[in-house]
Each structure stands twice: as C-alpha cells, then as structure tokens.
Amino acid sequence: MDKKRIIIYIVLFALTFALATQGFTNLGFDGLLVPLLFTFAYFTAIFIYATIIKNNSIVDIGWGFGFVVGSWLTLFVTENPTILSYEIVAFITVWGLRLSIRLFKRNWGKPEDFRYADWRKEWGDNVVVIAFFRVFMIQAIINFIVGAAAYTVIKYNQFVLGSPEQYFVYLALFIAIVGLFFEVVGDEQLRKHISKKTRSLLTTGLWSITRHPNYFGEILIWVGLYFTGITLVYTNSVNIFYYALLIISPLLMSTVLIKISTPLLEKNMEKYAGWKEYTSRVPMIFPFTKKG
C-alpha cells in the first residue's frame, strides 16, 4: 500500500473518530463510540465471510443493515430519547431492511458482481489484504460517517411537539420520505423491467426524469435526516460547529453515488441500444437539471 493511500486512511479514521466523539470532546461510551465500534466489527465480519466464499460483493447486501443496527445501538445508549429519536430509528429501519432484503433476494447465490470481480483480477494474489482496506474498511468508514448525522440527532435532540422548530423538522422528514419514495418506486420499476428479460434500457416512469432515481432518492434521504438536526442547534444540544461538520454525512453519500457508483454503473449500461439518446435527454441524477 503506497504512502499516499496510508495517509488518506489515517485522515479518514481521524475524521470518523472526531465525529464519534464530538470533536474529541466525548471519549466515553455515552457518545457515538458504540455505533462506531459496531460498524467496524460488522464490516470485518462481512469481510471474513466474503473471503471464505470468495465473493466481496456481499458487502452490498450488508450495507443498509449496518445503519439499522447502528441507529438502534445509538437509541439504546440514549438516556432520554424523544419522539424524533424514535421516528428516525423507525425510518432508518424501514429503509435499511428493505434495501438489504432486496439486495439479498437479487444477489444471493449469484456470481460476484462485475465491479468486485474486476477488482479481484486487478489485485491478484493481494486481493484479500487490499479488499479488506479498500472495500470493507472504506465502506465501514463511509457507513459510519453517513450515519453520524442521524445518530447524533437520535442521541442528542431535545425535540418536543409544539416547539418553534417543529415545522422545519417536519419539512426535513418530508424530504427524507420523498427520497424513500424515489428509491422504492425506482427499484420496483427496475425490477419489473428486468423481469421482462427484454435486455433493454428502462426509460419510463421515474427513469424518464432521472437515470438513477434510486440514487437521487438516497441523496434526499440523507439530506433530510441531516436537516432534522436543526433542532440540535435551536436547543443548543450540540456545538453549532460540530453540527456544521456533520454536513459531511449527506455530502459524502452524494459524492460516492455521483462520482463512484454512477460512473461504474453507467460504464456497464453503455452497451444498451439507445444509451446516447437516453443520456442526452435525461439527467444523470437530479431531475429537471442539465442533461448528460
């Protein structure tokens, strides 16, 4: 592993630890250290099983469930959870279980996904060590950082019905629900299209306004959950600079989806007839924006 990559891992781990301890000010287990430690242990366990069966793509199945357990563990170490705490945990549970169950049904028992298979060939004899850091530990870090904003709201919010900021919180939850709609409906439309075995592009429904409605939906979910944290600022539950730092949650998820996941997926989609016309007509992620 080159020095540059080692430095990147150190920086990412330091950032992750800073988020879990409110900027290194809360080093006890009453903060977010419990979901942090679980996340690393969870992805290490998936790595061990993936190595045994020689299929690193099973990490995708476990992605959503990692947030589910992380949110519940945060709730368990929260002394006085509010109704907002329970609402966010319930939302993440519905979202995460649906995603993991869907991917389990779609991928279990099938060959390794083409992306991970290509990396396996590229990494050769060093695949186990490289995959541990570049697939599983990176996903563990991203999983926690993305979930950190929601975990912080679950644990530290003092939201009460009738409070001045309640309507902003409701708006943020609505954004997350709209995101869930795009993700669920987009996935279902794709499932039905694939079941027809036409081996063609899906260009109708939500797929007519964005090439990746499920990714757009996931971005909205984490944006919405982040903005529920306005109650943290209003009640001074956490330092405003710490809350500002938590914007990395939706930003990181958006960056991964737009800059990594989407290009990899679209490279595989280029083989379908009508791809160029489709990309010239429908925006990549955000509906009603610039095409291409």
By mean pLDDT, which of 6-15, 210-219, 246-255 is the weakest? 6-15
Cα–Cα distance list, 292 to 139, 168, 210, 279, 286 (Å): 28, 33, 11, 5, 11
Task: Determine the length of the chain.
Answer: 292
Query: Taking residues 3-19, what's their average pLDDT?
Result: 86
CA distance 60 to 141: 14
Q: How confident is the model at residue 199 (pLDDT cuts 50, 70, 90)?
A: confident
Of 167, 152, 282, 292, the closest CA to residue 229 belongs to 152
Query: Residue 226 is which amino acid?
Result: Y
Domain segments of the chain as ranges: 1-156, 158-292
Q: What is the pLDDT of residue 123?
A: 92
Q: Tell me the C-alpha distance between 50 and 192, whole Å.
A: 29
pLDDT at 225 over 90: yes
Residues 6+ apart with CB under 8 A from 215: 257, 258, 261, 262, 285
Distance (Å, rounded) from C-alpha 113 to C-alpha 115?
A: 6
- Over residues 38-92, the pLDDT tens digits come to 999 999 999 999 999 999 999 999 999 999 999 999 999 998 999 999 999 999 9
Q: Which residue has the tokens 């992750």?
A: 16
Contact 148, 249 (CB under 8 A): yes
Residue 292 in this model has a pLDDT that exceeds 60: no
